Amino acid sequence: MLGLALLAVALALSCHAAEVRPLVLAANFGKFTAYIQQIVPVLRPDRIGPDLAEWYWGLPKWLSLLGETLMMAYLGTLLGALGGFVLCFVAAGNLVRSSAIRFAAKRFLEICRTVPEIVFALIFVIAFGLGPMVGVLALAIHTTGALGKLFSEVVENIDMKPVEGLTGTGASWVETVRFAVLPQVLSNFASYGLLRFEINVRGAGVMGFVGAGGIGQELLIAIRNFYYSDVSAILLMIVLTVFAIDLSTEKLRHHLIGGEGMR
């Protein structure tokens, strides 16, 4: 009962600080539903073909921008995974005995994942100008911090007997990592990398709001100019793309983790 009371007090204080007002929310909820009704297109059964063609009048352009967004997410994930892969072994307490090296690696990873991708994108837009390269760099830095943290936790939970065996035979640190650590962690690394790619697809869709290219920039233009049907068309494309990636990567992640468990 005491725990529930403390939870209720904390909830009330947080709602007050965040200005969460249920009455105001209820009074203005109709504006949200009205906007949703405005962006829903009119699709008539007897004219479904022409109506769909009118709704997706910009499909070739939007598909090109969506492909650009996917490439941004893929390249950002790949570069970030490489950075996290290199730094995770240095940040692992069971592989590196130097507290100074571990401290520097962990703090660097914290900086990379603490600053939001959108902030990195804004900084890079100022430095390099508009374009998808800005989104790739922002996603890569944030992914380095996020995956580096996850990878290092996986490394710290490995079975140390193979490591001790190789160390006892005189193997170098790199050889120990290659032959004693990597076989235990690669499947989990791949699983986390696929999960991060799914997250980065959603993040890359927002990068266009700050001029980093991709489908997000076209969505922002549609929202600002009140092109209601374009907003719903682009949103549906993004949602379906994320659904497809989520389903495919989920099966692959389970397969990788299951294969590791069988071994």
The token pair that represents 215 in the structure block: 């489908």
**What is the pLDDT at residue 262?**
45
CB 169 within 8 A of CB 179: no
Q: Alpha-carbon distance 146 to 192, whole Å?
A: 10
pLDDT attached to residue 258: 67
Domains, the chain, ranges and CATH?
A: 59-262 (1.10.3720.10)
Which parts of the chain register pLDDT below 50? 261-263
- d(CA 41, CA 262) in angstroms, rounded, equals 50
Question: According to the model, what pLDDT value does residue 212 have?
Answer: 82
| List of residues 6+ apart from 139 with CB closer than 8 A | 72, 73, 75, 76, 77, 80, 117, 200, 203, 204, 207
**Per-residue pLDDT reduced to its tens digit, 184-224:** 998 899 989 988 998 999 888 888 888 888 898 889 889 88
132 touches 212 (CB < 8 A): yes
Which residues in 66-103 are b (16+ Cβ under 10 Å) and which e?
A: bebbbbbbbbbbbbbbebbbebbbbbbeebeeeeeebe
Report residue 253 as tokens: 């992640």
